[in-house]
Amino acid sequence: MQADSIDTRTMRNGALTRTLAGFVADTQWQDLPAAVRSEAKRALVNYFAVALAGSHDPTLDKAVSVYGRFRADDNATIVGRSERTDMLNAAALNAMSANVYDFDDTHIATIIHPTAPVAAALFALAESHAMSGEALLLAFVLGVEVECRIGNAVSPEHYQRGWHITSTCGVFGAAAAVAKAQGLDENAIVWALGNASAQTGGLVETLGTMSKSISVGNAARNGLLSALLAEDGFSGPDAPLEGERGFLRVTASHPHWHALTQALGCEWALLSNTYKPYPCGVVLNPVIDACLDLRRIISNDARWSIDDIEQVELTGHPLLRERTDRPGVRTGRESQVSAQHAVAVVLSRGKAGLEEFSDAAVADPSLRALANRLRFVDDASWPVEAAQVTIVLRSGERLSHRVHAARGSLAAPLANVELADKLHRLTAYGRSGIDAQPLVERLWKFEHEPDAAAVVRLTRARGSN
């Protein structure tokens, strides 16, 4: 099937949606390559790291308070907190927590953060519907596959038009994953995807604000709800994805139809997943790497000083400017997607942790002055994983550093030990009092876990918040 065309009959009968649903229904644990199984566990280690880090952010405090007014029961864990809530609210709140600092994983081709919506829905389900670690991992892999294939089908136009792709595609991933975990057949999975299509949403305009967390949380919550409705016979359209007024046509002018099913079962989205070493938009990773190296050079050479910088030139793919040209940020959340702030704070402090992307860092007047000296240089031939930072001194001297593959990218992935360290560091940052070591140990052996919910229960904080 051609990438830019689809016949009317296929469009009407939902052949593409049905093929995807059938794949979810039929795939078993033994069908997953060892590398995919391993990557699923790596994704969950990263998921709990970022969820525990964000568990006491003001965004979560406010959301937990409001959502708590409408909880149906207290059967589910809120990661890093002592409060408990119902399944749907837990899915939403834990997805929010995992995404609030922009420190979660990234599927490179689409820039979807795939784990938060899918894992949050599955672990919320697991506390009320018994499943093994193996069953959860299988459902997780398939949910990520579905959301990223849908994302591939609408990229890059979808994001460029203003849709927040993690939210809009994440709801399909959560629906597919929960449908698999519940053992739904092909027809019911089509319904689950149809129910999800009625609940998709999220806008790029919300980035840098608390509002973004609503749609990320909704992706997990609504995906979970979509599958539970389908399980009870709540039917949906035959072609929710490729239909004339289905998701793909509504949210992209020229969908890549083949992306939904081409090489299904041979190429896996999780093998294109990456994990961030820094809490910011993924396109900033090579920029930060370059700035850290330049900072070391400046610090070791008496001829150079931060105060001598006249301008900073940032060369990279146009996507870098498109997503991070944000001068004058006012909050830590805004700074996570601001090249101006990232360059200024890293060159000034020589660090790029959560403290460097906080409200306090944004309020530093010396950083604002340096941030105003940034200039973008677009080059479409550059990969997204690369960037060059050039410092121009008042004397006219120039110092450049180019990063060909950012730390954490597919070419330079974080090792297992680095992901485990990230879980330890972010657990401490989140101030939940959780002991990270037992969690790490259980996650690396998660396929042998008889009760998947036992892992998420390790993340419940004791005492009052």
Kindly state the DSSP code that residue 450 receives in the 8-state scheme: S
Q: Which residue intervals of 255-284 are DSSP H helices?
A: none
Of 247 and 395, more confident: 247
Taking the C-alpha atoms of residue 297 and residue 291, their distance in angstroms, rounded to an integer, is 10
Structural contact between residues 413 and 407, judged by C-beta atoms closer than 8 angstroms? no
403, containing H or E segment: strand 398-403
Residue 106 has pLDDT above 80, yes or no: yes
Taking the C-alpha atoms of residue 99 and residue 159, their distance in angstroms, rounded to an integer, is 17
- pLDDT grade for 308, boundaries at 50, 70 and 90: confident
Residue 7 has pLDDT above 70, yes or no: no
Amino acid 464: pLDDT? 46
- 218-222, 232-236, 256-260, 302-306: range with lowest mean pLDDT: 302-306
Residue 1 has pLDDT above 80, yes or no: no
Taking the C-alpha atoms of residue 370 and residue 287, their distance in angstroms, rounded to an integer, is 15
Residue 9 has pLDDT above 90, yes or no: no
Sign for the pseudo-dihedral over CA of 274, 279, 284, 287 = negative
Sign for the pseudo-dihedral over CA of 94, 100, 101, 104 = positive
Amino acid 2: pLDDT? 42
Amino acid 462: pLDDT? 83
Amino acid 12: pLDDT? 67
- pLDDT grade for 208, boundaries at 50, 70 and 90: confident
- 49-58, 59-68, 191-200, 365-374: range with lowest mean pLDDT: 365-374
Structural contact between residues 244 and 8, judged by C-beta atoms closer than 8 angstroms? no
Mean pLDDT of the chain: 94
Kindly state the DSSP code that residue 270 receives in the 8-state scheme: G
Coil, helix or strand at residue 336: coil
- pLDDT grade for 217, boundaries at 50, 70 and 90: very high
Amino acid 10: pLDDT? 63
Amino acid 385: pLDDT? 87
The residues, ordered by sequence, that sit 6+ positions from 353 with a Cβ below 8 Å of its Cβ are 278, 279
∠445-446-450 over CA atoms, to 5°?
A: 115
Amino acid 5: pLDDT? 67
Domains delineated in the chain: 8-275+423-457 (1.10.4100.10), 282-403 (3.30.1330.120)
**pLDDT one-digit tens code per residue, 311-361:** 999 999 998 998 899 999 999 989 999 999 999 999 999 999 999 999 999
What percent of the chain lies above the pLDDT cut of 90? 86
Residue 142 has pLDDT above 70, yes or no: yes
**pLDDT one-digit tens code per residue, 248-280:** 999 999 999 999 999 999 999 999 999 999 999
Buried residues in 367-404 as b, exposed as e (16+ CB within 10 A): bbebbebbebeeeeebbbbbbbbbbbbeeeeeeebbbe
Phi, then psi, of 108 in degrees rounded to 5: -60, -45
Taking the C-alpha atoms of residue 246 and residue 282, their distance in angstroms, rounded to an integer, is 30
Other CB atoms within a 10 A radius of the CB of residue 161 amount to 13
310, containing H or E segment: strand 309-316
Cis ω on the peptide bond leading into residue 156 (within 30° of 0)?
yes
Taking the C-alpha atoms of residue 249 and residue 4, their distance in angstroms, rounded to an integer, is 12
**pLDDT one-digit tens code per residue, 67-96:** 999 999 999 999 999 999 999 999 999 999
Amino acid 374: pLDDT? 94
Q: What's at 102, amino acid-wise?
A: D
The residues, ordered by sequence, that sit 6+ positions from 17 with a Cβ below 8 Å of its Cβ are 190, 193, 238, 239, 240, 241, 242, 260
